[in-house]
């Protein structure tokens, strides 16, 4: 028998659905700090999570988040490009292009989690999670940002989902930055940006908190095998993915 700590708020996704309006920017940053703290621990021992999304994070409180579900967690030296699992909106373009997971791929996923915490919306909630979305992600497409985000936090988020993995910050850097931003009463610049964002969001009458009922019926937020991705060998014995492009995407 395994005894585990009870996460009263459930998954991060469930917590955002029921508590987003009550979350301050301090709450959001604190949440992300704890997630980055956990991810840094995973990366420090040479592992990668490989299935990193808001459904695999649980909340003991509105600000205490813990990473769960290590079923696909592996050393960075291990990869099986023939068996790709995941939730497409959180998967980095290099995974979808080559089938290769890295710690930098986890950072891309963290960027999508940041987007979710900041806006209340899961990425790509309103379109099918299929081959078309894979192509969009591989072409550098990002989710629409529908509300004002403090610029320092927005910059950090966008670095995480940079198309070039080498431009993404390390998990330990994310932990350090978010810890610094969480003490925004002592940081004039982030405080100014938070005040500006709060004012802009009050005036933004077009912004409505995410309602799960508007999710596209083919938006899938559980990890699954992606059988439409088929690997093929290319020059220099590397691999890339080949899948049939639907006729209506052109």
Answer whether residue 241 is part of any domain.
no
| Closest C-alpha to 102, from 139, 77, 83 | 77
Name the residue among 110, 82, 84 with its Cα closest to residue 95: 84
140: number of Cβ within 10 Å: 11
List strand residue ranges (DSSP E) for the chain, in order.
47-48, 57-59, 65-67, 74-75, 85-86, 224-225, 230-233, 239-242
Which pLDDT score is estimated for 3? 41
- Distance between CA 147 and CA 118 in Å, rounded? 8
Instruction: Give the pLDDT confidence of 212-237 residue by residue, as tens digits.
Output: 999 999 999 999 888 766 544 334 34
Q: Which of the pair, 134 or 84, is modelled with greater confidence? A: 134
**Chain center to CA of 68:** 14
Task: Name the band, by pLDDT with cuts 50, 70 and 90, for residue 247.
Answer: very low
- The CA distance from 82 to 85, in Å, is 10
| Residue 236 included in any domain | no
Average pLDDT over the chain reads 85
Dihedrals φ, ψ of 164, to 5°?
A: -90, 110
Domain assignment present for 216: no
80 catalytic residue (yes or no): no
Indicate whether 207 belongs to any domain. yes
What backbone torsions phi and psi does residue 166 show, to the nearest 5 degrees?
-70, -15
- pLDDT of 238: 45
| Distance in angstroms (rounded) separating the CA atoms of residues 104 and 94 | 10
Burial (CB count <10 Å: 0-12, 13-18, 19+), residue 159: middle
Determine the distance from the C-alpha atom of residue 148 to the mean position of all C-alpha atoms in its chain, rounded to a whole number. 18
Averaged over 188-208, what is the pLDDT? 89
Those residues whose C-beta lies under 8 Å from the C-beta of residue 166, and which sit 6 or more positions away, are 104
Interval 39-64 mean pLDDT? 92
Mean pLDDT of 175-189: 83
Give the pLDDT band (50/70/90) at residue 1.
very low
Note whether residue 230 is domain-resident: no
pLDDT, tens digit, 9 for 90 and up, residues 114-153: 999 999 999 999 999 999 999 999 999 999 998 999 999 9
Query: Higher pLDDT residue, 176 or 2?
Result: 176
Count of domains for the chain: 1
pLDDT at 197 over 80: yes
Domain encompassing residue 193: 11-211+221-225
CATH of the domain at 201: 1.10.510.10
Model pTM score: 0.87
What is the spatial distance between Cα 113 and Cα 132, in angstroms, rounded to a whole number?
Answer: 21
- What is residue 11's three-state secondary structure? strand
Residue 176 lies in a domain: yes
Q: Which of 51, 106, 130, 242 is catalytic?
A: 51
């Amino acid at each position: 028998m395994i005894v585990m700590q009870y996460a009263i708020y459930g998954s991060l996704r469930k917590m955002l659905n029921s508590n987003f309006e009550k979350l301050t920017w301090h709450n959001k940053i604190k949440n992300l700090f704890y997630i980055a703290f956990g991810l840094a621990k995973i990366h420090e021992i040479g592992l990668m999570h490989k299935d990193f999304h808001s459904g695999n994070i649980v909340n003991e409180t509105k600000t205490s988040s813990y990473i769960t579900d290590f079923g696909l967690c592996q050393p960075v030296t291990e990869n099986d490009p023939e068996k790709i699992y995941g939730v497409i909106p959180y998967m980095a373009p290099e995974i979808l292009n080559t089938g290769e997971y890295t710690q930098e791929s986890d950072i891309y996923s963290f960027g999508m989690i940041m987007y979710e915490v900041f806006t209340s919306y899961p990425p790509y909630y309103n379109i099918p999670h299929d081959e078309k979305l894979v192509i969009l992600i591989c072409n550098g497409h990002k989710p629409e940002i529908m509300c004002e985000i403090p610029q320092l936090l927005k910059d950090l988020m966008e670095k995480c989902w940079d198309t070039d993995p080498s431009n993404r910050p390390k998990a330990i850097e994310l932990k350090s930055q978010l810890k610094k931003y969480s003490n925004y009463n002592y940081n004039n610049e982030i405080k100014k940006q938070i005040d500006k964002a709060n004012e802009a969001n009050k005036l933004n009458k077009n912004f409505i908190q995410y309602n799960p009922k508007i999710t596209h019926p083919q938006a899938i937020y559980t990890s699954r095998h992606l059988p439409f991705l088929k690997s093929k060998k290319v020059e220099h014995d590397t691999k890339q993915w080949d899948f049939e492009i639907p006729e209506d995407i052109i």
